[in-house]
Structure 1
Amino acid sequence: MDYQINYIGKKIKQNGKVLTGKTVEHPKGDLVCSLLNVKLTDRHCLPEELFYWIGEYLSTDHIEARNNIASWADLFGQRSIQSEISLDMSCNFIYFIRSSIMEFIQEEVSSQRISAMTLIKLTRELDSLFQLVTSTITELYIDRFSLTKFALDESAEDLSITLKELADLKNALNEAAIFAITDSNDEISYVNEKFCEISKYTKAELLGQKHNLLNSGFHPDIFFREIWQTIQEGRVWKGEIYNRAKDGTCYWVDTTIVPFINANGETYQHISIQYDITEQKKTEEILRKAEKLSLVGELAAGIAHEIRNPLTTIKGFVQLLRKSHEETKLLYADTILEEIDRINFIVSEFMVFARPHANYYTECNVCDILHSVINLLEAEAALKDVILMREIPQKSSMIRGEKNQLKQVFLNIIKNGIEALPHGGHIKIHVHDYQSELVISIQDNGIGMSKDQIKKLGEPFYTTKPYGNGLGLMVSYKIIQNHHGNISVKSEKNQGTLFQLSFPLIDSRSS
């Protein structure tokens, strides 16, 4: 996970008690703690535990931490129900916790300790976690309501909750959710005030009507047929619906529909519990646009990096043309034309992001590609007192791939090796078959890298060079992945670096 997110996660864990104190500054937050008999002086009180697990998840990205958050929500929901705390009050308390975290993160952004892009990522991660918490708590309340209804239908003697508790559950649903009851003919028999507020219809206008009164035309007919079929089969339906209000405005609702079944196994009515997520949807759209803009920036930097390499080669050969004899000019001209073709290919690859197209892989002789790359770089290497040593077999080593993309990978890695030898040295390029794979080793005796540097290789904008941008290796890693290959890096400071690439041989690939 991003190191800035890791940093925020650790800070949240360290400041759990402080954040808990801010949460209970809200009057309703203090009331919930009081009803749950939570003592803030305890070593690990209930709210502080949630801050701890959220911090743990952000700093480690472990699924165990996310599971612990779900377990915490289950415990909190059960204790809230036992303490007769309304669903509305429980959800508000969770919202206060989220607000405390967001205010804390905003302070970090204002102090420029984390970037705006990290804020966007954190918001997305936290929204996912708090959606997990609130949905877990809500489902507990729904289950409690369903158990209550089942008990009432079974027998008055087996009634397991009091009328007061039932009234509280109804009040909780009315206060916290957009709530409606629909009969077996799919006609609305009850709506609460929140339903009227969001739909802009009065109760009189809604009662006796079907829900297609709110149809926005966004969903296809099959979408609603599947909902109806699920309800008729006695199963709960969950999803998001885009509705149209009476005044023509549209809104999104996160919806849970719970059917009620009679003794004959038939659905005689169902309830819908909805939450307005229109603002959340708008935020998601803003985040998507921000991510697209960020991607455009990365691609622009990447294309500039990839084009700079062949332009440098062309410039060098043009300078050599001025001084060369007639017999060498033709060789230099061929190389220049080849590099111009490579620029054209790179620009074409850039268009993938504007207009998707399929890659066409053919049989590629990796040994021939490596010889071509080494011939291309030998002049640059000689100028820097670097010797390129080949241990490439004469036989053909065929894989399925795209020749120019593979050439791009080898160029990037070998050029990085040359730049890692400021005082000269050697780079050994070795090729061999291992079982059903072709293995290419590129090893230099240069300045090497630390373990932390190795871990960050392939990340956008991470580089060990003063004038690099890290995008060359990022592109290379993606190309290797698309070719079903693998890459590993071994390095030590002042001991050199070994890049090892492997690709499935063509005779081992399924047709």
Structure 2
Amino acid sequence: MNTEVSLFGYMLQMRSHLLANKITEIHQLRNHSPEPDRKEIIEWRSKLFQHLGFALSEDYEKAQAEIQDWADFQEQKVPHEYSLTYYLNSVFYSRKLILCVLENEIKDNTVSPAALLEILKVIDPLLDHATSSLTNNYTKNTYSTETDEDLIITLEELKDFKFALNEATIFAVTDQNNTISYVNDHFCKISKYSRDELIGKNHGEIFKSGYHTEEYLNNILHSIQQGKVWKGEICNKAKDGTLYWVDTTIIPYLNFDGKTYKHISIQYDITEQKKTEEMLLKSEKLSLVGELAAGLAHEIRNPLTTIKGLVQVLQETTEDKKVVYSDIILTEIDRINYIVSEFMVLAKPHAIYFTECSLTDILKKVIYLLEAEANLKNVVIINDFNDEDVILYGEKNQLTQVFVNLLKNAMEALPNGGIIRVSTSLVKDKVRISIEDNGVGMTEEQVKKIGEPFYTTKATGTGLGLMVSYKIIQNHKGSISVKSELNKGTTFDITFPLIENNAMNTYSTTNK
């Protein structure tokens, strides 16, 4: 994490209790109730801000585990007498407050737009994790404390549940065929349809915006039919043709046979938030284009200077030297071509189509491809794969490119030979791939610059290979981290979500 992100994380931890009390004020305004929330609830909300701050300033994976524990009502001794929406709203309002704080920090120039994007990339998955964990724990605790008779959902109970959700959310109920049976006023307002126009219509068809692929939408349905809660963002089309974004949680209801017979959709309007994020992203892209253009000009100017000088003396030299100079010119032209090709991978939009692919097969193929080169350099590649094959949802050729780049870099860090260890391990709902070498290593300053355009520790390199790899990993909802010590070696850790989680949140898209 950079300094701005870490400092914001520490600030969240320090202000956690203040922000938790702010949520209480929001609840009172929303519910028109002067009654304050109980002390245990406020402490519980405060812990969420502390965990988010800890993820930004110190340890993401530890914070993720702590949020899992935070969502356990019985473990945290949190009152279980309120509705599920009440608890989910705590997560939703937490994000709203963090965005408000960030806006103020940006106005005061204490947080840059780039840092804001990095902060959101950290906290958004954690808040999604908090939402799904809360829903699962709430359902589990409710199930364990109710009798069989209580589990029969009566019409009266459903009406009570609808009433609780009507005030705070965009809410709908659909049957097993995705036919709408109920919508609240907020749903009608954002979609610009009347209730009569919506009842009996297919939810997926009437709001189809064309933004999402069929594969993405089918993954949502598949998840619901499996009885799993789905959480994500959806772009819908209103009656007048305008598009709007909603943060959506879909909760299926199962009968005694374990089959889905209806599901509820709880949504929040995030259209303005998406517009703000898009503007920030465009700003970030313009900044990156300028940086890339400057780097590209510098990298191309060097070989062009060499070519120009050799061409000027080519006609005045001997035949032997003409051959040598011609070879150098061709080499420099190849170098320019390589730089431009790598740059085009970053700059040119192209479609990415995700499929199921075996991580073990990809890694074995990469090791086989590089085996001859490794032998020539006296490098031994050891694989230590997880016993059970791991299936990822992604683009096989791009994943292959990532591991080829990382292994080649590892070999180049072993000028006198050495060992590279490639290992895989399962960490909760993710798979981790570690590529470790005992080579020359890097300084702390060098590690910080890894992944920047045109930064390289090699004598002949552009730094674009790692930048492309970082972008591919990001497009696959993954993350990458680097640990290195000078003269001792380097370890790259790459994590990807397992297919069960990745398939519902990753879809065919355009690489921008």
- TM-score above 0.5: yes
Aligned to 2:49: 51
* Cα deviation digits, residues 328-350 of structure 1 (max 9, x gap): 46534542343233223322333
Work out whether residues 9 and 53 of structure 2, in 8 Å CA contact, stay in contact via their aligned partners in 1: yes
Aligned to 2:240: 247
Counterpart residue identity of residue 6, structure 1: S
For the structure 1 residues 176 and 39, does the alpha-carbon distance in structure 2 shift closer, same or farther, using more than 3 Å as the test? closer
Q: By how many angstroms is 1:183 displaced?
A: 5.5
Q: By how many angstroms is 1:9 displaced?
A: 1.4
Match of 1:123 among 114, 120, 144: 120
Three-state SS of the structure 1 residue aligned to 2:36 is helix
Q: By how many angstroms is 1:286 displaced?
A: 4.9
Match of 2:463 among 466, 471, 474: 474
Counterpart residue identity of residue 193, structure 2: Y
2:66 aligned with 1:62: no
Q: By how many angstroms is 1:11 displaced?
A: 2.8
Q: How far apart are the structure 2 equivalents of 1:208 and 1:187? A: 6
| Residue correspondence of structure 1 range 91-490 to structure 2 within 5 A | 91-139=88-136, 151-152=149-150, 169-182=161-174, 188-211=180-203, 214-216=206-208, 218=210, 235-236=227-228, 238=230, 242-253=235-246, 254-261=248-255, 265=257, 269-277=261-269, 279=271, 282=275, 285-286=278-279, 289=282, 292-293=285-286, 295-314=288-307, 328=321, 331-353=324-346, 354=348, 431=416, 451-460=443-452, 474-475=463-464
Q: How far apart are the structure 2 equivalents of 1:180 and 1:436? A: 51
Work out whether residues 365 and 397 of structure 1, in 8 Å CA contact, stay in contact via their aligned partners in 2: no
For the structure 1 residues 152 and 327, does the alpha-carbon distance in structure 2 shift closer, same or farther, using more than 3 Å as the test? closer
Counterpart residue identity of residue 168, structure 2: A
Counterpart residue identity of residue 10, structure 1: Y
Q: By how many angstroms is 1:171 displaced?
A: 2.5
Aligned to 1:5: 5
Q: How far apart are the structure 2 equivalents of 1:269 and 1:431? A: 65
For the structure 1 residues 136 and 294, does the alpha-carbon distance in structure 2 shift closer, same or farther, using more than 3 Å as the test? farther
Q: By how many angstroms is 1:6 displaced?
A: 1.9
Q: How far apart are the structure 2 equivalents of 1:326 and 1:186? A: 79
Work out whether residues 227 and 259 of structure 2, in 8 Å CA contact, stay in contact via their aligned partners in 1: no
**Greater RCO between the two (CA within 8 Å, min separation 6)?**
2
Q: How far apart are the structure 1 equivalents of 2:229 and 2:41? A: 39
Q: Which has the larger radius of gyration?
A: 1
Aligned to 2:28: 28
Three-state SS of the structure 2 residue aligned to 1:176 is coil
For the structure 1 residues 73 and 282, does the alpha-carbon distance in structure 2 shift closer, same or farther, using more than 3 Å as the test? farther
Work out whether residues 4 and 115 of structure 2, in 8 Å CA contact, stay in contact via their aligned partners in 1: yes
Counterpart residue identity of residue 255, structure 2: I
Q: By how many angstroms is 1:433 displaced?
A: 7.6
Work out whether residues 177 and 273 of structure 1, in 8 Å CA contact, stay in contact via their aligned partners in 2: no
Work out whether residues 180 and 195 of structure 1, in 8 Å CA contact, stay in contact via their aligned partners in 2: yes
Three-state SS of the structure 2 residue aligned to 1:49 is helix
* Cα deviation digits, residues 403-449 of structure 1 (max 9, x gap): xx99xx99xx99xxxxxxxxxxxxxx965587999xx9998xxxxx9
Work out whether residues 234 and 259 of structure 1, in 8 Å CA contact, stay in contact via their aligned partners in 2: no
* Cα deviation digits, residues 65-86 of structure 1 (max 9, x gap): 12212322443998676353x5
Q: How far apart are the structure 1 equivalents of 2:280 and 2:63? A: 25
For the structure 1 residues 294 and 365, does the alpha-carbon distance in structure 2 shift closer, same or farther, using more than 3 Å as the test? farther
RMSD: 5.8
Counterpart residue identity of residue 252, structure 2: V
Three-state SS of the structure 1 residue aligned to 2:227 is coil
Q: How far apart are the structure 1 equivalents of 2:199 and 2:183? A: 8
What runs of 5+ residues in structure 1 fail to find an aligned partner? Answer: 157-162, 368-392, 415-428, 444-448, 492-496, 502-511
Match of 2:39 among 21, 37, 40: 37
TM-score by length of 1: 0.60
Q: By how many angstroms is 1:117 displaced?
A: 0.8
What runs of 5+ residues in structure 2 fail to find an aligned partner? Answer: 352-365, 381-399, 423-436, 472-481, 492-512
Q: By how many angstroms is 1:461 displaced?
A: 6.5
TM-score by length of 2: 0.60
For the structure 1 residues 211 and 463, does the alpha-carbon distance in structure 2 shift closer, same or farther, using more than 3 Å as the test? closer
* Cα deviation digits, residues 172-225 of structure 1 (max 9, x gap): 223333334445776544333233333333334444455466253737778878
Aligned to 1:374: none
Q: How far apart are the structure 1 equivalents of 2:200 and 2:350? A: 49
* Aligned-residue identity in percent: 32
For the structure 1 residues 166 and 453, does the alpha-carbon distance in structure 2 shift closer, same or farther, using more than 3 Å as the test? same
Q: By how many angstroms is 1:63 displaced?
A: 0.9
* Cα deviation digits, residues 288-312 of structure 1 (max 9, x gap): 6556545534432442343244235
Work out whether residues 442 and 490 of structure 2, in 8 Å CA contact, stay in contact via their aligned partners in 1: no
Q: How many pairs align?
A: 420
For the structure 1 residues 141 and 286, does the alpha-carbon distance in structure 2 shift closer, same or farther, using more than 3 Å as the test? farther
Three-state SS of the structure 1 residue aligned to 2:110 is coil
Work out whether residues 40 and 78 of structure 2, in 8 Å CA contact, stay in contact via their aligned partners in 1: no
Work out whether residues 32 and 93 of structure 1, in 8 Å CA contact, stay in contact via their aligned partners in 2: no
For the structure 1 residues 396 and 82, does the alpha-carbon distance in structure 2 shift closer, same or farther, using more than 3 Å as the test? closer
Q: By how many angstroms is 1:252 displaced?
A: 4.5
Q: How far apart are the structure 2 equivalents of 1:286 and 1:77? A: 41
For the structure 1 residues 181 and 144, does the alpha-carbon distance in structure 2 shift closer, same or farther, using more than 3 Å as the test? farther
Q: How far apart are the structure 2 equivalents of 1:221 and 1:363? A: 38
Counterpart residue identity of residue 10, structure 2: K
* Cα deviation digits, residues 119-178 of structure 1 (max 9, x gap): 12213323333333344445555667778695336699xxxxxx9x98764422233333
For the structure 1 residues 363 and 317, does the alpha-carbon distance in structure 2 shift closer, same or farther, using more than 3 Å as the test? farther
Counterpart residue identity of residue 256, structure 1: I
